[in-house]
Amino acid sequence: MSDTLALTRRLVSIPSYEDERAAGDAVESWLRAETDATVRRDDAGNVIARRGEGPRSLALVGHHDVVAPAATQVADDGEAYVVEEREGRLHGRGTADMKGSLAAAMVAFRDADPATELVLASFAGEEQGGVGARAAIDDGFAPDYAVVGEGSTGYSAPGVTDVAVAHMGRRGSTLVARGESAHASEPEAGENAIYRACDAVDVVRTLDAPETTVLGQELQGSVAVTEIDGGSGWNVVPERCEVTVDERTVPGERVDLERTESVTGVEWVVDQDLPPMACDDETFAATVLDAARDAQDGDPRHVAKPHATDAGWLTAAGTTCVVCGAAEPGEAHTAEESVAIDVLERCERIYRGAAELL
C-alpha cells in the first residue's frame, strides 16, 4: 500500500464534521513524525508546515473538515467513518473532498526536493465558508504561489487530472421587502410587501449574468431567485417578504443587484460572498500543467471550475493560485463519495513535480 493511500485511509476514517480537532491532530502528528518541517497549529485549527528556503514560496493547500456524512458513511459504533476499497476506488466521506488530495499533498511535501520554500497548509472550516483560510490570511499567511487540491479531474476528458486556472465564486443575498399590514378585505389600507418583492424579482430578471475570460478559459456566471418567504396569514396583507438570490460570480464582474433597491421598501442584504479565483501568472499555470503532464498518460488542460474554493480567499489576499486535485465532478458531498486510488497517487506526483519545477 502506498503512503498516499495509507494516509488517505487514516484521515478519512477520522470524523471531522462539526468537530475537526481529531483530524487536525492527525495531520499535525504525521507532519511532525514524518518531516523535519516547522509545524504550527493556530487558534482556528489550521495546520501549517514549512520547509526549505528560497526567493519564493509555494503552498500545497487542503482542508481537513467535511460536510455531514450519510448514515452509511458512519461506523455502527459512531466512532469512525467507514472507509472501503472497491474496484480501484476508495469510498467514504472526505475521500474526494478532500482528504485524499490532502494526503497526496502531505506526502509530496515530505518527499519533494524544492528549490524554494515549500508550505503545507491544511485549513479548518472550508465547508463553513473558508473560516480557516480567512483566519490564516488575517494572521499573515501569504505564500507567493499555491496549488489548492480541490477537484480538477475529469473536466477536459474522463480520468484526466487537469489544472484549473479560474473558478467562480458565490454571492448569496436577500431582498427584504417591507410594507404595511392590513386586513385582506381592505388591501388598499396597507402596503403589500409581496407585491414589492415581486417588483424586485422583476428587476433581477432584467440583469445580465457576469462573464469573463481567464487565460483562455471562459467563465459564465449566473443569477437566480431561489427562495421566497412572506406573509403571516390568509387574510392579512403582508408587511414583510424575503427573497433569496443566488449569484455565481466571476473574477472582476458582479451583477448590479443594488438596482433592486430602486423598488420602494426593498433592501438588498449580502449574506455570503465567496470570492472567485483567477490565476494571474501564466508561467506558473504552465509550470503546474507541465507537472500534470509528466505525472500521467492523458493530456491535461487548463480548465475553469464552477465551484468556489479556498483559492478564492487566497487570490483575493494576493497569492497566485491554481486548483488541481483528485476529485471528479459529482463526487463531493454525496452519499457514494469516492476517489480513484491511481489518481490520488498521480496527484502526489503532480504536487511533488510542481514543487521541484517552480
pLDDT in tens, 94-149: 999 999 999 999 999 999 999 899 999 999 999 999 999 999 999 999 999 999 99
Give the span between the Cα atoms of 83 and 139, in whole angstroms.
35
pLDDT score recorded for residue 247: 96
* 312-339: burial string, b at 16+ Cβ within 10 Å, e else: bbbbebebbbbbbbbbbeebbeeeebbb
Is the CB of residue 93 less than 8 Å from the CB of residue 66?
yes
pLDDT of residue 6: 98
Which tens digits make up the pLDDT trace of 223-239? Answer: 999 999 999 999 999 99
List the one residue out of 352, 351, 343 whose CA is nearest residue 148: 351
d(Cα 330, Cα 341) in Å, to the nearest integer?
17
Instruction: Calculate helix-pair angle for 3-13, 100-111, nearest 10 degrees.
Output: 140
Q: Which amino acid is at 282?
A: E
The one-character DSSP state at 215 is T
Between strands 57-63 and 84-86, the pairing is unpaired
Number of H helices, E strands in the chain: 8, 20
- Please determine, for residue 176, whether its predicted confidence score (pLDDT) is greater than 90: yes
CA distance linking residue 48 with residue 190, whole number of Å:
58
Q: What is the pLDDT of residues 18-76, one digit of tens each?
A: 999 999 999 999 999 999 999 999 999 999 999 999 899 999 999 999 999 999 999 99
Q: 186 pLDDT band (50/70/90 cuts)? A: very high
Q: How far apart are alpha carbons 85 and 346 in whole angstroms?
A: 17
Q: Is 172 exposed, middle or buried, given 0-12, 13-18 or 19+ CB atoms closer than 10 A?
A: middle
Query: What integer best gives the mean pLDDT of the chain?
Result: 97
- Which percentage of the chain shows pLDDT scores above 70? 100
Kindly list the structural domains of the chain, giving each domain's residue range(s) and its CATH number in brackets, ordered by start. Answer: 3-168+276-357 (3.40.630.10), 169-274 (3.30.70.360)
- Measure CA 107 to chain center: 22
Q: What is the pLDDT of residue 1?
A: 81
Asked if omega into 277 is within 30° of 0 (cis), the reply is: no
pTM as predicted: 0.93
DSSP H or E run through 111: helix 100-111
